[in-house]
């Protein structure tokens, strides 16, 4: 434990959010978000149906120093007050990651401050320590538009991956479902809203891989099933009524909820075998915003005698506060990087596991 507060400047640019944040790590090791700036790029990519890596990289290069200036000024501090410069060094879109890495290297060199390269997924995975100060080990379900995996988190560099998606990430499946039904992007909130008035039992969509042991998941078959059913209905009745769209959304959401709940139950059994002192399952990622999914996970957690934790959405989706916090923990374990730090498009947290086959709409993640 350090004997004084540490201030860490964090940078994040691995996908389509340019972000910078200042986090204070107090002498007890608790993290506090002093400022957090996230400059999204949704509008830049809207015409292309997905993130365009070149456009993302250029926007990051143009904005990363602006994000840093804003984070420092909102913290009412100066760059010289920072004790550590932390940056996402992967995994993600290489051009974007490079922007953050180059900016952080320049700052660390110019200010003569220590540099720490952070794995973006570790940033997500350590978020419940930043928000709730929970003890290791805990179970993390990372579930967003680009990631989906179960991790037992035992330390800032100790991750055991229990399973993950072998194709689409759930957020990607929500986005594709919205597209198939003529709903706006991002699809998750639109599908969730439409599902509220829908009948979740009308369409029997598959629950892929539930018949197989383990915690791996698959979501790409769901959209194919939805496409086929939609086309059948359109052929039969000449189009879709609002109540059909609502029923599609509710049935789809129920299928995703069933898969995540059942696989979480399996992951919890493995996790509980470690006899954790304060058993916790935490979620991170945009899909963690979904009320139905949160309800399902709350029940599963209670059934296994564990606490369920869903950090505020601004810290679940991509942000630099999680990178600053993880950088602080890594700094305290002695990690120091230098100007040889490189951007890694692929960087699995658990190298003992075979690579996940799927990647997610926003590029290869792990």
| Least Cβ distance, residue 199 to Zn ion (angstroms) | 33
* Residue 287 binding ligand KG4, by CB under 6 A: yes
| Least Cβ distance, residue 365 to ligand KG4 (angstroms) | 8
Among 245, 289, 309, 324, binds ligand KG4 (CB under 6 A): 289
* Residue 248 binding ligand KG4, by CB under 6 A: no
Q: Report the C-alpha gap between 246 and 339 in whole angstroms.
A: 53
Q: Is the peptide bond before 137 cis (omega within 30 degrees of 0)?
A: yes
Strand partners, 119: 90
Q: Report the C-alpha gap between 327 and 10 in whole angstroms.
A: 7
Size of the site for Zn ion (CB under 5 A): 1
Q: Are the C-beta atoms of 301 and 260 separated by less than 8 Å?
A: no
* Residue 318 binding Zn ion, by CB under 5 A: yes
Backbone phi, psi, residue 243, to 5°: -70, -25
Burial 10-40 (b: 16+ CB within 10 A, else e): bbbbbbbbbbbbbbbbeeeeebebbbbbbbe
Residues 172-211 that bind ligand KG4 (CB under 6 A): 172, 174-175, 186-189, 192
Q: Which is nearer to ligand KG4, 189 or 345 (CB)?
A: 189
CA terminus-to-terminus distance, the chain = 31
Query: What is residue 287's DSSP assignment?
Result: G
Site string for ligand KG4, 66-95 (x = CB under 6 A): ------------------------------
Q: Which is nearer to ligand KG4, 137 or 257 (CB)?
A: 257
Q: Which is nearer to Zn ion, 205 or 325 (CB)?
A: 325
Backbone phi, psi, residue 344, to 5°: -115, 110
Q: Which does 362 bind (CB under 5 to 8 A by kind): ligand KG4, Zn ion, none?
A: ligand KG4
Residues 16-55 that bind Zn ion (CB under 5 A): none
Contacts with ligand KG4 by CB under 6 A lie at: 15, 144-146, 171-172, 174-175, 186-189, 192, 285-287, 289-290, 317-318, 362
Contacts with Zn ion by CB under 5 A lie at: 318
């Amino acid at each position: 434990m350090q004997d004084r507060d540490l201030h860490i400047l964090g940078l994040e640019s691995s996908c389509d959010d340019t972000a910078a944040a200042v986090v204070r790590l107090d002498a007890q090791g608790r993290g506090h978000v002093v400022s957090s700036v996230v400059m999204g790029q949704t509008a830049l990519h809207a015409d292309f149906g997905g993130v365009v890596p070149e456009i993302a990289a250029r926007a990051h290069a143009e904005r990363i120093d602006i994000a840093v200036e804003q984070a420092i000024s909102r913290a009412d501090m100066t760059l010289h007050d920072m004790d550590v410069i932390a940056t996402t060094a992967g995994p993600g879109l290489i051009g974007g990651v490079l922007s953050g890495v180059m900016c952080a290297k320049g700052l660390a060199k110019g200010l003569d401050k220590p540099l720490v390269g952070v794995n973006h997924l570790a940033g997500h995975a350590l978020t419940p320590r930043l928000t709730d100060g929970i003890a290791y080990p805990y179970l993390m379900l990372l579930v967003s538009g680009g990631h989906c995996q179960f991790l037992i988190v035992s330390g800032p560099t100790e991750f055991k991956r229990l399973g993950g998606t072998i194709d689409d990430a759930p957020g990607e499946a929500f986005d594709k479902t919205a597209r198939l039904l003529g709903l706006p992007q991002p699809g998750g909130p639109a599908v969730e809203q439409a599902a509220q008035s829908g009948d979740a039992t009308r369409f029997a969509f598959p629950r892929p891989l539930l018949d197989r042991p383990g915690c791996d998941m698959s979501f790409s078959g769901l959209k194919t099933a939805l496409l086929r059913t939609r086309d059948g209905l359109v052929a039969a009745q000449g189009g879709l009524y609002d109540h059909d769209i609502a029923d599609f959304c509710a049935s789809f959401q129920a299928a995703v909820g069933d898969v995540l709940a059942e696989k979480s139950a399996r992951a919890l059994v493995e996790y509980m075998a470690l006899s954790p002192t304060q058993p916790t399952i935490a979620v991170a990622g945009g899909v963690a915003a979904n009320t139905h999914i949160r309800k399902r996970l709350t029940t599963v957690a209670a059934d296994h005698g564990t606490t369920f934790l869903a950090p505020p959405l601004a810290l679940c989706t991509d942000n630099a506060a999680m990178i600053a916090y993880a950088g602080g923990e890594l700094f305290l374990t002695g990690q120091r990087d230098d100007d040889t730090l490189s951007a890694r498009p692929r960087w699995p947290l658990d190298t003992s596991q075979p690579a996940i086959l799927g990647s997610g709409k926003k590029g290869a993640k792990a």
